[in-house]
Amino acid sequence: MQPTSALLTLTALAAGTVNAAALTGRVPLMGIFRASTVAQCPLEASDFYQIGLSLGPDDTSCRTFYNNITYGAINVEYWHPQCVLVLFNTIDCSDDGMASGTGCWSPPGGFQAYKGTCPYRTW
């Protein structure tokens, strides 16, 4: 992710739908994405996810979705620049995984699970 686009995204979010408190450090936020079962961009009807750092920045757990839904496309609206989002085809994160940048894309094979880690964290 380019630092410039991250700043633009932050600015857009602060002015828009997301509570600005989430972006000023008072609420620890890892990232925000929308996901759709339809593998196309821009997204069809989508689900909204706001991922906190509450599980801890070193958390490597494999996270799944309600009813084990399989998504076909994702639009990452914000992701902490010191953290990484990795999407997995399998529900137990047993495949290699695909690192996601920001923006909309359709991971080949869709994704059933993800991990959010912060290998570059300085805090």
Ligand X SMILES: *[C@@H]1O[C@H](CO)[C@@H](O)[C@H](O)[C@H]1NC(C)=O
Binding site for ligand X (CB under 6 A): 67-68, 91
How far is residue 102 CA from its own chain's centroid? Answer: 8
Dist CA 104 CA 51 (whole Å): 17
- Smaller CB distance to ligand X: residue 31 or 97? 97
Shortest reach from residue 91's CB to ligand X, in Å: 5
Shortest reach from residue 90's CB to ligand X, in Å: 9
Start-to-end Cα distance in the chain: 20
Shortest reach from residue 110's CB to ligand X, in Å: 15
Helices (H) and strands (E) in the chain, counts: 1, 8
- Smaller CB distance to ligand X: residue 60 or 94? 94
